[in-house]
Structure 1
Amino acid sequence: MIETISTNASPTSTSSRSSSPQPSNSTSTCTSTSSSTTRRPHSEVIETLGATTSETKDGLRKINNYLLKKEIGRGAFGTVHLGVDTNTKTEYAIKEFSKSRLRRKEQSDMLRKRGGIGARGRGRGRGIGLGVGRETAAAAAQPGSSNPLDLVRGEVAILKKLHHPNVVKLFEVLDDPNDDSIFMVFEMAHKGVLMDISLDETTTPYTEDQARRYFREMILGIEYLHNNDIAHRDIKPDNLLLSNDNVLKIVDFGVSEMFIKGNDKLKKSAGSPAFMAPELCKPRHGEVSGKAADIWSMGVTLYCLVYGHLPFSSTNLLELMDKINNDPVDYSGHKLSDEILDLLHRTLDKDPATRMTMDDLRHHPWVTQHDTDMMISEEENCEWVVTEVTDDDIHNAIKSIASIFTVVSFKYKFGNL
């Protein structure tokens, strides 16, 4: 899957929660500042500069206290491992990136931008990750800044504040200054993707009751992101993973963007074409609502869950865009309740101005089973809200920085572990 990760490792802070990995090197402990109404959780991301890579007598590699047991994914810039904390025996998904490859990619991107060549479109993929689009992170760090240090500081400051049970968690970043690798430690979602969807195949659909459970968790996670002024922009079953206890985790923030408080208008198209909203499939479309585009993608995802295939499909990109823009959605072939059909009609409204909102979704009769199973309130769901990223947050996000910054493309899928 495509994701954007800009990071450097250095010792900063961690919380005292027992579920978090223990710091490999000495760290200083600090807490996030509280807003006027809400206390934010402690930062749980450990940044370890000066980590040590070693090899066991069995030929397995270790990075500090993490044993890399086996490879579970591979991409252009690195590898994803099933990792185990030898102290706690907890399993993690550990991404290993090549710093030299990342530097070359950064240099190539800079040359292409100077030459007036636009970034290439992003394709489909599967995986796990947590990041925020580098351009918007830069704006959060320092408007108009192109300093890679500001890009990294802005991203890490934001990542530290995201704290939700339905958003995948980044625990630690480790950098070995004597090795070409940098590592990111994520929580492990052992059951993998919610559904494996391809353009030209049909898979076994979920029942409405099963789909409702996961859709409700998707609502809570996306609502939390929107309340933090983040448009995900690539919602699809591939980017929804399941933990061992069947909790849905939203992953892959590689094309996500932060928007200005109160104004979710975005200009660029991004994400997987089959899940993109009609307003993004038009040339020179201008500004579009990031929230409305996410709602459309949620509707396409729900359609996949209960039908087992995409509502619009073509191997030809232009034909696919035309279908999304002009073709009606086919609701035949499955016996579904009137309530879910109403929800699908309203989320897959081609007009973003009349499309369902998040508030409409959380109160829809199908979601709440006619008010017999109400969602938790928006206030409770978004209790740990990132109200702003302050200058202090950015300054303290990374105390010391190595020469690593880039856009990372990564594609993988969990196998059976």
Structure 2
Amino acid sequence: MNGQKIKRRVGKYEVGRTIGEGTFAKVKFARNSETGEPVALKIIDKEKVLKYMQAEQIQREIATMKLIKHPNVVQLYEVMGSKTKIYIILEFVTGGELFHKILNSGRISEKEARRYFQQLINAVDYCHSRGVYHRDLKLENLLLDAFGNLKISDFGLSALSQQVRDDGLLHTTCGTPNYVAPEVLNDGGYDGAAADLWSCGVILFVLLAGYLPFDDTNLLNLYKKISAGEFTCPPWFSFSARKLITRILNPNPVTRITISEIMHDEWFKKEYKLPVFEETKERNTDDIETIFKDCEVC
């Protein structure tokens, strides 16, 4: 033996250190041995997925990410499976969570907040155009790349337009309490696009303020504040930022500002750059079915 450690491989990927861990999955740093490109390798335990009846949710997450190819969304490269594991190969994003940036440095400048918000709105608009509603947009799910560009991650709670019921609405209450739209809490069904937009408004508020617009240790009180749209903008918000946030955090989803209206807003349009990228073709989802076929016998 020459003392060299033999690297573990999954397909053409050399697997390295663990960079994240959840209930069903581990995320490891890996490298494409053909191109040398770093990737994030999400390894999902099939047995746990079945035990907690999460197969459908994970299938949906993979199917969703295959629909989306946008510069401000974490890219899914490929999916593989073995008898006991599912391997999802994702873009490796190096800049950490936007959440940690705010946690460490507090609020950011209006100019910087606007740039992140423009990228967020653009990506969310693209997702909606593909029939995908994220449903858990929050700072922790926004990553930054090496160039400081925003990347939306974690489509685990997303809904596809096929899940919309006959009334044209989604009916699953999900998301993170402080970011969730009032109509999602009210249990009467909700429009996925309007609910995502509310969460974007909460994100913009946090970027500019350094704290959440709706917060309470008592969950019932928190829900009351959200339902009433009860929040106060700090004095350092510019008039135009305050006006836009108030239109987004409107508790009535019918009169809430839409994405196309946001794109015409004076505050939003300042120094706006339209992202240039290649539109993805419809991607095949047959491999997802194949990967989960073994699950019954795992």
TM-score by length of 2: 0.86
Report if the CA contact (8 A) 2:20-2:26 is conserved. Answer: yes
Q: 1:217 to 1:89 in 2, by over 3 A?
A: same
Match of 1:191 among 79, 83, 95: 95
Residues 103-142 of structure 1 correspond to what in structure 2 (within 5 A)? 103-106=50-53, 134=56
- CA-atom RMSD in angstroms: 3.1
Residues 70-128 of structure 1 show CA distances to partners (whole Å, capped at 9, x for unaligned) of 1111112231111122332211111112222222222xx7xxxxxxxxxxxxxxxxxxx
C-alpha distance in 1, partners of 2:8/2:208? 42
Which secondary structure does the structure 1 equivalent of 2:100 belong to?
coil
C-alpha distance in 2, partners of 1:255/1:72? 22
Residues 275-314 of structure 1 correspond to what in structure 2 (within 5 A)? 275-282=179-186, 285-314=187-216
Residues 331-410 of structure 1 correspond to what in structure 2 (within 5 A)? 331-332=233-234, 334-369=235-270, 373-374=271-272, 376=274, 383-384=279-280, 398=289, 402-404=293-295
Higher relative contact order (CA closer than 8 Å, sequence separation 6+): 1
Report if the CA contact (8 A) 1:235-1:298 is conserved. Answer: yes
C-alpha distance in 2, partners of 1:268/1:293? 12
C-alpha distance in 2, partners of 1:168/1:186? 7
C-alpha distance in 2, partners of 1:155/1:238? 17
Q: 1:381 to 1:302 in 2, by over 3 A?
A: farther
- Which range moves more in the overlay, 201-210 or 353-362? 201-210
Q: 1:362 to 1:240 in 2, by over 3 A?
A: same
**Does residue 251 in structure 1 map to residue 153 in structure 2?**
yes
Structure 1 portions without partners, runs of 5+: 1-55, 110-132, 136-150, 406-417
Structure 2 counterpart of 1:220, which letter?
N
Shift of 1:67: 2.1
Structure with greater helix share of residues: 2
C-alpha distance in 1, partners of 2:92/2:14? 14
C-alpha distance in 2, partners of 1:257/1:79? 23
Structure 1 counterpart of 2:274, which letter?
I
Q: 1:184 to 1:269 in 2, by over 3 A?
A: same
Structure 2 portions without partners, runs of 5+: none
**Does residue 176 in structure 1 map to residue 82 in structure 2?**
yes
Which secondary structure does the structure 2 equivalent of 1:83 belong to?
strand
Shift of 1:275: 0.2
C-alpha distance in 2, partners of 1:105/1:396? 22
Match of 2:125 among 223, 241, 244: 223
Q: 1:82 to 1:374 in 2, by over 3 A?
A: closer
TM-score by length of 1: 0.63
C-alpha distance in 2, partners of 1:276/1:96? 29
Match of 1:79 in 2: 26
- Which range moves more in the overlay, 88-97 or 341-350? 88-97
Report if the CA contact (8 A) 1:281-1:324 is conserved. Answer: no
C-alpha distance in 1, partners of 2:75/2:67? 11
Match of 1:65 in 2: 12
